């Protein structure tokens, strides 16, 4: 298709975390403008992308959420492929969702680019419940793992924008400073057709050239 050439980069960012922590809500809040734009004709068509400006550069954020697809076996396997950012979401009112953060982190690093930018996001999606995960504790944990950290509320839309922007800015910094490998940069600028040849290149890269 490629009609929309008004951007310099496409960054794929995945949303991960236990079900019910408000991932789809975060996504919907962040892409809201485009979701509601011309709602008569484009039902749900642009809920997964949003373009933002960072230092006069336009970044198209392509945000992946497995909403409704968790049971399709092979579909989810493509989820991490090519992702350069991740929001690892837990619910600050449900401690169990925080306890599982480490498992998600491991899964992410097992499948994704080692340079992936990860933010730990403590979300509050429910009005009634009380906090069970102290901010300090999560913050310290995030620092020890080298993750960005933020608390959001999808109820009041607090920090949703900042969380995504910080992740996208950080990815841009990495790309701009060439900190990432060449291969990863080509993964950042998506747009090539999927197919074995390209995937094999990626695989070869991870076998032979990875740090």
Partner 1 sequence: MFDASVWRIRSIRDSVRLEICDEPSPAVLNRFTHLDPDTPHLENASQEIGEEVEDGAVFSISLRKVQMYQSSSKSQRWMGVDSDSGLSLYETCKLRTIKAGTLERLVEYMVTAFRGNDSTYVTIFLCTYRTFATTKQVLDLLLNRYAKLQPGSEVRRMTPDERTELRNTVSSILGAWLDQYSEDFWKPPDYSCLRRLIHYLQLSFPGSDLERRACNLLSQFHRRLQQESDRDVLDQCCAFALLQENGFHEERPDFLNFDPTVVAEQFTLMDAELFKRVVPYHCLGSIWSQRDKKGKEHLAPTIRATVSQFNCVTNCVISTCLSDRTLKPAHRARILEHWIQVARECRILKNFSSLRAILSALQCNPVHRLKKTWDEVSRENIRIFQELSEIFSDENNHSLSRELLIKEGTSKFATLEINPKRAQRRQQPQRDLTVMQGTIPYLGTFLTDLVMMDTAMKDYLDGGLINFEKRRKEFEVIAQIKLLQLACNNYNFKRVAGFSVWLSGVEKLSEAESYSQSCEIEPLSESASNTLRAKKSSGIMKRWSE
Cβ nearer to partner 1, comparing 95 with 106? 106
Footprint of partner 1 on this chain (CB under 8 A)? Answer: 1-2, 4, 19, 24-25, 27-28, 32, 35-36, 39-49, 62, 65, 67-78, 103-104, 106-107, 109-111, 114, 191, 193-197, 199-200, 203, 206-208, 210
**Considering beta carbons, is residue 107 or 135 the nearer one to partner 1?**
107
**Strand, coil or helix: 187:** helix
Outline where DSSP puts E strands in 77-199.
85-91, 117-124, 148-153
C-beta of 17: minimal distance to partner 1 in Å?
12
Question: 3-state DSSP call for residue 152?
Answer: strand
Using the minimum distance from each CB to partner 1, give the nearer residue, 129 or 135.
129
Minimum Å gap between C-beta 174 and partner 1 is 18
Report, in Å, the least distance between residue 131 CB and partner 1: 22
Q: How far is the CB of 1 from partner 1 (least distance, A)?
A: 5
Residues of 42-51 as b/e, b for ≥16 C-beta within 10 angstroms? Answer: eeeeebbebe
* Matching residue, tokens 């749900």: 44
Nearer to partner 1, 1 or 56 (CB): 1
Do residues 104 and 88 lie in contact, with contact meaning Cβ atoms separated by under 8 Å?
Answer: yes
- Asked if residues 9 and 188 have their Cβ atoms less than 8 Å apart, the reply is yes
Least distance from partner 1 to the Cβ atom of residue 55, Å: 26
Burial 64-85 (b: 16+ CB within 10 A, else e): bbbeeeeeeeeeeeebbbbbbb
Of 111, 94, 93, 95, nearest to 16 by C-alpha is: 111
123 DSSP β-pair partners: 91, 152
If the CB atoms of residues 12 and 174 are measured against partner 1, the closer one turns out to be 12
Helix (H/G/I), strand (E/B), else coil: 81: coil
Residue 72 C-beta: closest distance to partner 1, Å: 6
């Amino acid at each position: 298709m490629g009609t929309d050439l008004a951007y310099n980069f496409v960054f794929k960012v995945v949303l991960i975390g236990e079900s019910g922590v408000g991932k789809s809500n975060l996504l919907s809040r962040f892409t809201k403008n485009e979701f509601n734009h011309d709602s008569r004709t484009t039902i749900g068509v642009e809920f997964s992308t949003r373009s933002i400006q960072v230092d006069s550069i336009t970044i198209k954020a392509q945000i992946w959420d497995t909403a409704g697809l968790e049971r399709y076996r092979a579909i989810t396997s493509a989820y991490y492929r090519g992702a350069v950012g991740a929001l690892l979401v837990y619910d600050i009112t449900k401690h169990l969702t925080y306890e599982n953060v480490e498992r998600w982190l491991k899964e992410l690093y097992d499948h994704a680019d080692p340079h992936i930018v990860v933010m730990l996001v403590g979300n509050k999606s429910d009005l009634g419940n009380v906090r069970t995960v102290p901010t300090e504790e999560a913050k310290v944990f995030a620092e020890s793992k080298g993750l960005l950290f933020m608390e959001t509320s999808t109820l009041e839309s607090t920090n949703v924008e900042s969380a995504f922007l910080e992740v996208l800015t950080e990815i841009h910094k990495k790309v701009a400073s060439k900190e990432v490998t060449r291969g990863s940069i080509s993964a950042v600028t998506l747009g090539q057709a999927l197919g074995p040849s390209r995937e094999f290149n990626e695989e070869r890269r991870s076998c032979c050239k990875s740090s």
